[in-house]
A and B are shown apart, each in its own frame.
Chain A
Amino acid sequence: MAEKKKWMPRWFYQLASPRWSYEIMGKLLPWFAVAAASLLAVGAVWALLFAPADYQQGNSFRIIYIHVPSAILAQSCYMLMAVAGAIGLIWKMKVADMVAKSCAPVGATMAILALATGAIWGKPTWGSWWVWDARLTSMLILLFLYLGVIALNSAMESEATAAQATAVLALVGLVNIPIIKYSVDWWNTLHQPATFTLTERPAMPAEMWMPLLVMVIGFYCFFAVSLMMRTRNEILHRERRASWVRELIEKQ
């Protein structure tokens, strides 16, 4: 019997198995937790105590070390949610649906954090908590997209239909991501342009952007921790009738 041609690497097919995913995430979790805790601790001390104050904004500039990583994460998390949703739609992969569902609450908190720290930073810098600026408005839309995904997912009785509907919403909302990214170039805005780009050196000195980079990586590790914990819960819940879950519970 000819084996069906496999187009994707082996781990991609293994990911389709809830049990394999549950176990691999259980093995990865402690490493990511240690990395996240140490990077965030080092980054926060560096950011608060050792980074120099900005010559224009003074010490309020230290908010950047929370604001920029959370804004980056809110967008990365959204892209992951949409991609996982698409994989779930195309390959009918249950684990991808669970990842997409688990992305929404983490991403929503990151969007809230970016908006809240932005507002707090705006007060001493622009003199206002909120302006209807393109960057701020598109970020607010991102938060509403997350809330929409969460609401739509919980409103549906069937898990399969809920996953399909939220995947479509997430994919439609993907159009917002380039709008957020280029909003500072397309419209006149108060918001400063991106700190990190792939092609140019950061416009700030190394002692300012290095702690920021540490914080960004720490935020990514933390996101991985929260996402894996939520996805494992989701796997336990949906596979509750499977024999391997029962064996796992009996061992406890």
Chain B
Amino acid sequence: MSFDSFSDFLAMDGHGLYVWMSYAIAVVLFVINVVSPVMRRKQLVSELIRRMRREKNAS
């Protein structure tokens, strides 16, 4: 363990802002990279269901 206390861990010897900002940006970009394909899949599936229902009603 490189830190003596939790406040030491947050402060990172005065570099806390830089370190935590980097990790926060990484988390945001990772979440975007998972959420956007999941949303796209939901949208695609509901579009397909609607189209198939329309075709069933037309015939």
Contact = CB atoms under 8 A, between A and B. Distances in A.
A226 B49 CA distance: 24
Given A60-B19, A123-B18, A233-B44, 8 more contacts: A40-B30, A48-B19, A59-B13, A60-B15, A117-B26, A120-B22, A121-B22, A233-B41
B2 A226 contact: no
A2 interface: no
Interface string B1-26: 11100000100111110110111011
B19 A49 contact: no
Interface in A233-251: 233, 236-237, 240, 245-246, 249-250
Nearest to B30: A222
Q: What's the dominant secondary structure at chain B's contact region?
A: helix
28 contacts: A40-B30, A51-B2, A53-B2, A58-B13, A58-B14, A59-B2, A60-B15, A60-B18, A62-B19, A63-B19, A66-B26, A109-B32, A110-B29, A112-B29, A113-B25, A113-B26, A113-B29, A117-B22, A120-B25, A222-B30, A225-B34, A226-B37, A229-B37, A236-B41, A237-B44, A240-B44, A245-B48, A250-B52
Nearest to A47: B23
A59 B30 contact: no
Contacts of B32: 109
Interface of B: 1-3, 9, 12-16, 18-19, 21-23, 25-26, 29-30, 32-34, 36-38, 40-41, 44-45, 48-49, 51-52
A20 B1 CA distance: 47
Q: Assign chain A's interface to a size class.
A: 35 or more
Nearest to B46: A249
A123 to B, nearest CB: 6
A249 B29 contact: no
Nearest to A229: B37
Nearest to A59: B12
Contacts of B52: 246, 249-250
B36 to A, nearest CB: 8
Contacts of A103: none
A106 interface: yes
A245 B52 CA distance: 11
Nearest to B41: A233
Contacts of A182: none
A124 B15 contact: yes
Contacts of A117: 22, 25-26
B53 to A, nearest CB: 11
Contact of B44 (A66, A124, A236, A246): A236
